[in-house]
Each structure stands twice: as structure tokens, then as C-alpha cells.
Amino acid sequence: MKKLLTIMLLALATSVQAQTDWVGTWATAAEFTGPGDMPKASLASTSLREIIQVSFGGEQLSLHLSNEFSKEPVEIKSIYIADAKDSCDIDARTATYVLFNKQKSVTIPAGGTVASDIIRYRLKPLQRLSITICYGPNVPQNATSHRGSRTTSFIAQGEVKPKKPFKAFERLEHWYNITKLNVLNSGQKAVAVLGNSITDGRGSTTNHQNRWPDFMAKALSQIEDASCPKGVLNLGIGGNCVVSGGLSEPALKRFDRDILGQQGVETLIIFQGTNDIGTSRHAEQTVRSLIDAYQTLIDKARNAGIKRVIGATITAFKGNGWYSPFHETARQVVNEWIRTSGKFDAVIDFDKLTRDPNDPERLQAQFSEDWLHLNPAGYKAMGEEAARVLMGK
């Protein structure tokens, strides 16, 4: 009996270790896909080639896929990963099939998710990785996707094998079904970013990987300190709100899945609230709701074991259509709370970094084209500042 109990405890310890040894190198937030974001033709019996850029490397990977926002199952005949080259081309020599319970095919049930078996693959830091999903004939009318991929995905007819030419008949800037890529026994930790379109990369350059979390990942990759997190997980959603309204599920609702559902996260950055403020009709109520929501998210993160929660101030939006003195006052009050409440372990003052010193309610002209979102120059400044704060400098 004692021997059996010992074996059971060892098995449990091994299981827990297996779960905690995974760390995210890439992630995105899943969303419901409306008709305007679906391909013109059905994904049924096609091959979809998607491109991601990881933050750190490793040799044992696990790919996660989601069908959480779909009412029908999605049938997948095969998936393989490969080093990405230009456009939809891949280095076929690196192509590696992804297995699920030792099988190439998998069906994700309606509302469900799947995680692959361990994939043996030499993944390099900051590399662009191609993921090719070959769909079967049965796919949902509305896929589960991420609308703001900022990278081009390619669709070809039939099941395109790794060494065959990929003859794309449609190109679009969305990711479908893919949500996470984790690395096993990496010795690394990750930082997750909760945000809206500014984090998601609105204003960045398609296929250039120049969102502010991309610049942060690049800066962190150059730091030799072993305590520095190398995994950067961008969980921004364009048009997203913290409390209610906006596009997709608000942060309060999606937090458990999109943040607490990630693995190996040591640090959380909360940089969200401009949509709540900009669309508000009751500024005082919005301020109270936002501050209460931040406190809820901070508590949930700490209770889940996330060691550091960092707040980022909301950037200026004077010159944008939703600016008014009332909205600006709300932004200032919320930012003052972020800076001085003591609820965060550290603060990234994106507002101070990016605002015009001669007109503090407006972004610097060199950093924005629409007075709300940043451009690549602005995102570079933000990413490098975020890395500096993460390292306590």
C-alpha cells in the first residue's frame, strides 16, 4: 500500500511538472469570426498557411488550436510547421507534421480546443514560423479567429503537401484556429500583455512584425540576465474594452482564458482602457468602473501566481474623433490612479513617453497618423521603454 501511494504521488508530481514546464513563446486572443472576416470561399477542403513570429526558441513545442467561438466542429486532415520564407514559401526541409494523439488528423469540437503532441523542431528566437492547416470538408460557418494578425495568411485548394507549390487563390490578414505555441523545459518565463488595438498593432506595417510587443520581444532577447522573461504573449484585440461594449469579449470576461490560460507567465502588463473612455457617455462612471476592473484583474492575476503586474498609462488621443474635454479628464484621472495608487508592481508611462511636450493631450506627430494609434516609430519607442521597465532600469 505504501509503495502504491509513493508511485501515485510521483505520478502526480510528474503530471504537475509537465504542466508547469511549458512556457508560451507566441499567443493570440481568439475571437468570434463574423461574415466580414471570413474568407470569400469556404475553408472546407483547403490548405491555410499562416505566419507567426515567436519570441524565444526551443526544441520541444506544443501547438494549441481553438474552435471556442464556433457552433460546429472543425475537421483538420493535417497540420505541419516549417521555417517561413518570403510570401507563402517555406523551407520544405524543415517541414514537420503536428500530431494529435499520434495522429495527423484531428477534429476540434464546437466550443472546444486541442493541444498537439510534443513537436520536435529546432525553433530559433524571433524566427518567423509557417503553420499550414489542411482542412477537411467539414468546417464551421463562423470560424474562431484573430482578426488583427498584421500578417498575411494564404489559402490554396486541397491538401498541399510541404514539397508542393502553394498556389494561393486568396490572401487575407487574419489568423484562424491557432492560439498558442508553447515550448517545453525552456528555462524561460513569459510576459503577457492585455490590450486593445494599440497592442494588437493597428498602425504597424503588415508582415514587418513592428507592433510594440514585437519591439519589446526583440529588446528582451538581447538581455543576458537569466531572470529576464523572454516569452512575449500579445493578447491585444482591436476595438476591445475592459468593462463592457467594444469588439469581442471585454477584458473582464476574456481574462481567464486569454491571460490566466497562458503557461509560464511571470509578468502581466495591463494596457487597456482607451476604448472604454473614448466611447463613454458618463465619464465619472467609466472612471470608477475602470479602476474597479483593474483591481479585479490585478487580484485575479496575483491569486493565479503571476508574480508581477505592471500597469501602463493610457496614451493621448486629442485630434481623434472621440476626443472631448470630458474624455480627456477621464483619461487623466485613470492615468493618475495607475501612476500613484500603488496597486501595480511597476508602471510603464506610455502617456509621458509618447505625448507632445508642447500639447500633452496629443501624441507626438512623429509617432502617429490618426492621433490615436501609434506608427512603427512610436511602437519602437514603446517596446523599448517596456523592456527597460521590465528590467527595472
pLDDT of residue 392: 86
Residue-wise burial string across 256-286, b where 16 or more C-beta atoms lie within 10 A, e elsewhere: ebbbbbbbbbbbbbbbbbbbbbbebeebeeb
In the predicted structure, residue 2 carries a pLDDT above the cut 90: no
Written in H, E and C, the secondary structure of 146-212 is ECCCCCCEEEEECCCCCCCCCCEEEEECCEECEEEEEEECCCCCEEEEEECHHHHCCCCCCCCCCCH
Ramachandran angles phi, psi of 43, nearest 5°: -75, -10
The string of pLDDT tens digits covering residues 347-381 is 999 999 999 999 999 999 999 999 999 999 999 99
pLDDT of residue 4: 38
Query: Which residue shows C-alpha cell 495522429?
Result: 103
Query: Which residue shows C-alpha cell 490612479?
Result: 337
Closest to 175 (Cα-Cα) out of 45, 69, 33: 33
The string of pLDDT tens digits covering residues 333-348 is 999 999 999 999 999 9
Closest to 270 (Cα-Cα) out of 217, 331, 161, 347: 347
Query: Which 3 state secondary structure label does DSSP give 237?
Result: coil
Which residues neighbour 115 within 8 Å (Cβ) at sequence distance 6 or greater?
62, 63, 64
pTM (2 decimals)? 0.93
pLDDT of residue 6: 35
pLDDT of residue 186: 73
The string of pLDDT tens digits covering residues 167-208 is 999 999 999 999 999 999 878 999 999 999 999 999 999 999
% of the chain surpassing 90 pLDDT: 90
Closest to 133 (Cα-Cα) out of 163, 110, 164, 154: 154
Element (H, E) at 277: helix 274-278
The string of pLDDT tens digits covering residues 28-80 is 999 999 999 999 989 999 999 999 999 999 999 999 999 999 999 999 999 99
pLDDT of residue 20: 58
For residue 129, name the pLDDT band (cuts at 50, 70, 90). Answer: very high
pLDDT of residue 344: 98
Query: How many Å separate Cα 159 from the centre of its chain?
Result: 28
pLDDT of residue 327: 95
CA distance 75 to 204: 33
The string of pLDDT tens digits covering residues 212-241 is 999 999 999 999 887 888 999 999 999 999
Side chain identity, residue 244: S
Mean pLDDT of 14-36: 80
Ramachandran angles phi, psi of 355, nearest 5°: -80, 155
CA distance 320 to 345: 31
Question: Over the Cα atoms of the chain, what is R_g?
Answer: 21
% of the chain surpassing 70 pLDDT: 95
Closest to 162 (Cα-Cα) out of 87, 65, 96: 96
pLDDT of residue 9: 33
Angle at which helix 376-390 crosses helix 212-221, to 10 degrees, equals: 50
For residue 18, name the pLDDT band (cuts at 50, 70, 90). Answer: very low
Q: Which residues pair with 132 in a beta bridge?
A: 49, 80
In the predicted structure, residue 17 carries a pLDDT above the cut 80: no
Query: Which residue shows C-alpha cell 498556389?
Result: 167
For residue 94, name the pLDDT band (cuts at 50, 70, 90). Answer: very high
For residue 12, name the pLDDT band (cuts at 50, 70, 90). Answer: very low
